[in-house]
Amino acid sequence: MDSTDILVPLDPDSQVRLAALAAERKQSAGELAAEPLADFLDPENPEHRQIRTGLEDFASGRTVAHEKVSKWLESWGTADELPPPQ
């Protein structure tokens, strides 16, 4: 498979942890880092599906007012917890 190198800035602690994990798995740091990136970029990634669903809901007018959600969240853990807003 053809590949392209990209530069990803990492803080020193992350560099050390990535190198250690790569050595443990007997992979290069690049191979190890590419795995979650490929998963994230997959259009069928569950996170992407949820975002698409939310955007479709918004476009169709299936929304709940911010004020209603805020009141509901503020009621969590109280004796008067509200039901989820509709």
* pTM for this prediction: 0.55
- Give me the number of domains the chain comprises: 1
Residue 5 lies inside a defined structural domain of this protein: no
Residue numbers of the domain that contains 16: 12-75
- The answer to whether residue 55 sits within a structural domain is yes
Q: Does any domain span residue 7?
A: no
Q: Provide the percentage of residues in the chain whose pLDDT is more than 90.
A: 90
Residue 29 has a pLDDT of 95
Q: Is residue 21 part of a domain?
A: yes
For residue 71, give Cα distances in angstroms to 14, 48, 61, 77. 40, 28, 21, 12
Q: In the structure, what pLDDT confidence band is assigned to residue 61 with cuts at 50, 70 and 90?
A: very high
Q: For residue 69, is it within any domain?
A: yes
Report the percent of the chain where pLDDT is more than 70: 99
- pLDDT for residue 3: 83
| CA dist 42 → 8, 28, 31, 36 (Å) | 19, 22, 17, 10
pLDDT at residue 15 is higher than 90: yes
Q: Is residue 1 part of a domain?
A: no
Domain membership flag for residue 83 = no
**Is pLDDT above 90 for 50?**
yes
- Name the nearest CA neighbour of 37 among 81, 75, 83, 4: 4
Q: Which residue has the tokens 């479709």?
A: 56
**Residue 7 is encoded by which pair of tokens?**
């530069």
State yes or no: pLDDT of 1 exceeds 80. Answer: no
